[in-house]
Structure 1
Amino acid sequence: MFTQIIAAAGVLALLTVVPGPDMAVVTKRAVAEGWHDGLRTVGGITTGLLVWGVLTVAGLAAVLAASAVAYTVVKLLGAAYLVFLGVQAWLRSRRGGDTSATVPSGPAPAGHPWRTGLVSNVLNPKIAVFYTGLLPTLAPPSLPSHVGMALLVLLHAALTLLWLGGYVMVLARARGFFERPAVRRALDRVTAVVLIGFGLRVATADSR
């Protein structure tokens, strides 16, 4: 069983480090607001994975994965949210990378970056397909199916937390560079294009 868990961890690790919408959202928050907001966003994303995990163990994610209508609705909502975040980043870049016009004085609401991460992850129907399609093949057969699935979901959430959390801290170390107006403007535009691109890709992806 231990060997099977290690093999599953390797597969999950590879899937975790592949750049995707979650990393783009984390980049946007961490560079714009700092590592505190970046880590809160990571916490929201990790919570989203746990939500999907609960739905998977309960069998509800399988219903979403099997229903073309439900999948399409969640897919379009997720795509719209990514495009919305991308447009926000692009508009900020048009203002020269200055966030003072959009960020109120004082500390930002603690729940906002967490909610951003949560919504972006929960509205990603690919997670439902991944959890119901791939995870069962990785679960140790010696364990009851729901126990094995829950174990892998927790493992995936932990790997995501470590990977994206470490990524945020790397960005924090280089924040002085990213705070230069020209660099911030360029990064906002790149992030905007990436988020909008992911949104369009999600919207136009096949249901399966």
Structure 2
Amino acid sequence: MENYLMYVLVAALTIASPGPGVILTINNAIQRGAANTFSGIFGIATGVFIVSVLSATSIGVILATSAVAFTAVKLIGAAYLIYLGIKMWRAQAPLNTHVELKDKSNIKCYLEGLSLTASNPKPILFFMSLFPQFINSEGSYVAQFITLSLTFCLLVIIIHSGYAFLSRFAKNKLLEPKGREVLNKVSGSVFMCFGVGLATSTK
């Protein structure tokens, strides 16, 4: 495998860039408990692994070559992002500042992170473009592919955990009624913008 450290750097910068997954992690970290937050992160990491596997199969090739298939998956992913955005936007902040937040089930948070990542076709094309740059044609393709995929998933867990940890510092301020309202509006708007951007984007 060639330039592994370069791959780690590129992957880390990609993961750290604000996107739907990062916003979901921050939102969970501020408004939910640690268990919910890490369930969502592991869901995102699982989704990334699934996407990386799909990128190495015929499904990835189909999405890369078929405009109809790509558009269909893209619109499904966009609709899901917009749905999450509307859900966050409409969430009501409690009138009681000291109200205890009710956590979601960990399974629900896990599935939310999983579906958020797996329903977006863009990462499949990203992996299809990225992996060949760091795979040695003379080595074992399967071993290198697994290493690159697991490295990316591990970086997702580490970087998202960092975002979650830093978000806890602002938790008390943002959990005030006004702060939660602003957070919900901003997070919802970002998700809807990502959804619209995904729906209107081209390959």
TM-score, normalisation: structure 1: 0.88
- Show the counterpart of 2:70: 71
Sort the Cα spacing of 1:99 and 1:197 in 2 relative to 1 into closer, same or farther, 3 A.
Answer: farther
Match of 1:47 in 2: 46
Stretches of structure 2 that go unaligned for 5 or more consecutive residues are: none
Runs (4+) of structure 1 exceeding 4 A deviation are: none
Which residue pairs with 2:142 in the alignment? 146
1:189 paired to 2:185:
yes
Q: 2:129 pairs with 130, 133, 136, which one? A: 133
RMSD over aligned Cα atoms:
2.0
- The alignment covers a number of residue pairs equal to 199
1:17-28 → structure 2 map (5 Å cutoff): 17-28=16-27
- Equivalents in 1 of 2:9, 2:138: separation in Å? 19
- Structural mapping, 1:84-95, within 5 Å: 84-92=83-91, 95=92
**1:115 aligned to 111, 116, 125, which one?**
111
Aligned to 1:174: 170
Mapped pair 1:202 → 2:198: yes
CA contact (8 A) 2:95 2:177 kept: no
CA distance in 1, matches of 2:103, 2:195: 29
Partners of 2:36 and 2:103 within 8 A in 1: no
For 1:30 and 1:119, the matched residues in 2 are separated by 19
User: Which digits, 9 at most, give the CA deviation of each residue in 1:111-144, with x for residues without a partner?
Assistant: 0010000000001101110111222112244422
Counting aligned pairs with the same residue, the percent is 28
* Distance in 1 (alpha carbons) for counterparts of 2:155 and 2:127: 15
One-letter identity of the residue aligned with 1:18: S
Distance 1:99 1:45, change over 3 A: farther
Please give the TM-score of this superposition, normalised by the length of structure 2: 0.90
Matches of 1:11 and 1:143, distance apart in 2: 22
CA contact (8 A) 2:74 2:199 kept: yes
